[in-house]
Chain A
Amino acid sequence: MALPHTVGIPAVRPRASVWRRARTREAGTALLFLLPLFVLVVALIVYPVYRAVWLSLTDKLVGYPERFVGLRNYAYLAQDDTFRAVIRNSVVFTVGSVGLKVITGVLMALVLNNVIRGRNFLRGLFLLPWITSTVIIALTWRWMFDAFPGRGFFNSVLLDAGLLHRPIAFMATPEGAMMAVIVANWWRGFPFFGVSFLAGLAAIPRELYEAASVDGASAGRRFWHVTLPGLKHVMIVTTLLSFILTINDFNIVYVMTRGGPGTATQIFATYSYQVAFGQLRWGRGVTICLFVVPILVLGIVLISHYLLRDRD
């Protein structure tokens, strides 16, 4: 009988140490598995962000070593009239494009949701702009808006139809040029919204519509009180993603207008490119891009907070 007792005491110790050892081993394994991710995060996110922030605090010129200048780049941009125009243009370009994408995305989703035959074919067809090269899209829209007689699509159609006597130079005015780049960006991006919203529509229970119909709700009220709330989360996420992509867009504006006429369509990415690669001022070029980061971070935090609160 004593055996279990005498064996029992030391038997407890190994069990605890085994548990500790197992826990250490598990922690080690976990760390080992996390290590690649950690390396990736550091190499692809932390270091580039750190480097960008550091460069923005230097007067780095291409070919020269960096020199710390504190917030001088930020102070310069704060009083740079071109940069103020860049902020204004970027906001108009982004809000205009994303706004159009939301509206047409909802329309596309509603139409496709009610199509029974050929839905998949139509869905694939609508996705064409999304999968086409951005440069091709930009060149195509530039051609569509071209005022070159006999070539610009809109002008050719209007002239041939006898509605015009002289071509309209769509992109010659600041407003026209901005409209042109917004339209090109919208056309490329709306299928993403449409397909996302279509998936969101599929998740809304049919019973809600039936109940609303029984209560006498019109189609408009059903859309307002059932469809839109049902799409809220998808809408917020797609809008946020598109906002980030659009405000950082480069190709469409560069190919279509190069930021012109004058500085009418100069946005963050194109201005940053000009300053960094044309003027060779990397520090200032990086600062231009970093200006947008707080806006994006704030947006992401607010939306995440909103989504999490809603979930709770």
Chain B
Amino acid sequence: MLDSRISRRSLLAGAVGTSALLTLPRPAAPAVKKGTSLKLWILKTYVEPTNKAIEASAQRWAQKNGASVTVEYFTFEDMQTKYVAAIESNSTPDIGQLETSAPARFAGMGQLIDLTTFARQIEGQVGKAPANVTAVTMVGDKVYSLPWYVMGGFWYVWRDVFEKAKLKMPSTFEEAKHAATVLNRPKDNFYGMGQSWNRTSDGYGVMQSLMYSYGVGWAGKDGKYKSIKTPAMQSVMKWATDIYKDGVQPADTLTWTGSGNNENFIAKNIAQTSNGPSITFALENALAKATDAKDRKAKEEALANHVALPHPAGPDGRRMWAIAMSFGIFKTSKDPEAAMSLIAHLLSPEETVAVMKDSYGQFGPVLDKARAASKDYFNKNDNYRTFGRAAEWFAPTGWPGPTTAAAAEVQASNVLTDAPAKVIVDKWSVDQAIDWEDKKIKEIYDTLRG
């Protein structure tokens, strides 16, 4: 069965390649047999309308093609567990939505179909993604998934708090730290910052933005291990641990597990934090549910006052880690051609914009045609204009090299955030923590096969 599928795909690839050579008119997407049944796994985010919009889009394709699509969700929490279990039991879906590191990891395992030809085939229909985003979908020169959107982390601040203190909005990490010290009022339970080095993307995501913006990468451009025992990393670690000194953050910041920063920011206990656009979603949603005029006024003020900035820059520029979602087709798929057709449908500018409009800014399209079609949407206000630019600042896991399985494991092993925690909690020196982190990273690169 496997061989026959491979040869069928090879045949398809060959056919497409030949048609390209002969400059014959190319089909927008492979044909779909009536009655085809596909299984699609997608990420369930906090923004429920987005989830429903993606599912509705998939069902539109099914209806148009006389096929059926079973949509299954995974959350940030169980994404890894669900895929791991499926891979080991050979029960992967036809199409899986993949986060930043997944294409490299799964392609290395031989789980994903090579979509190089297909990507070229539908480029005219859906457009191209910027090179920094495309990088996460490739291993070597082969494409294993097609990018759809970037869900960035942004630097949320309260405008009125900054204006009252006559502080400009922070554009660098140093400015953010300075602002935290100035704005800190622990006696009133108001703190200058809320940045946790925890085991969620609010922790390791910001740490990567910080490292990359200071020019620190644990891999070179070739994707091979590079030592982080550098003066730049000392600056990174100093920033990461200084914000835990002098009480400029709530005392329990390190223990927040995902929603702690959202809650503290919305409750106006902290002046600044990093988070995805779900904070904006929560504030817009709260306004829509306002009970009376007074409540409405308070919520309008909160919405107008909250500002989403890009992650601050460092001495080496602004590089924002983000969750880059793409679609891959698993080799277990019984109908890869139909799966390609569904992906082409989902990535089309019309469908992408339809989903994006229900995303409260969380969904930053990366394909240029969808980006062009989404300009009006992201012109809603300054916050949305920032959301719309997430792809420009995006730096993938393993920067400046490609996202590799080893780079993905470094992120998953939590060493990036455990290192500053060792300084903050266990009172290690900065150098000790960097040595420890470097040793752990090297060990991952030395022992990972595949």
Contact = CB atoms under 8 A, between A and B. Distances in A.
Contacts of A156: none
B422 A62 contact: no
B250 interface: yes
Interface in B178-195: 186-187, 189
Interface in B100-132: 105-106, 108-111
B255 A63 contact: no
Nearest to B247: A166
B252 A280 contact: no
Contact of B255 (A165, A261, A280): A261
Contacts of A167: 189, 251
A173 interface: yes
Interface in A248-285: 257-264, 274-280
A177 interface: yes
Contacts of B449: 59, 61, 64
B84 A280 contact: yes
A171 B436 CA distance: 25
A261 B421 contact: yes
Interface in B365-416: 409, 412-414
Contact of A279 (B198, B250, B263, B413): B413
B285 interface: no
A235 B286 CA distance: 53
B252 A169 contact: yes
A63 B110 contact: yes
Q: Which of A275, A276, A280 has the most CB of B within 10 A?
A: A280
B99 interface: no
Interface string A153-192: 0000000000001111111111001000000000000000
B421 A258 contact: no
Contacts of B250: 147, 169
Nearest to A62: B84
A279 B444 CA distance: 9
A259 B105 CA distance: 25
Given A173-B425, A277-B80, A277-B84, A148 B109 contact: no
Nearest to B448: A61
A195 to B, nearest CB: 33
Q: Which of B251, B255, B257, B260 has the most CB of A within 10 A?
A: B255
Interface in B45-89: 80-81, 84, 87-88
20 contacts: A61-B109, A61-B450, A62-B109, A63-B111, A147-B252, A148-B252, A148-B264, A149-B189, A165-B187, A167-B189, A168-B251, A169-B255, A172-B251, A172-B253, A172-B255, A258-B257, A260-B199, A263-B418, A279-B412, A280-B84
Interface of A: 59, 61-64, 81-82, 146-149, 165-174, 177, 257-264, 274-280
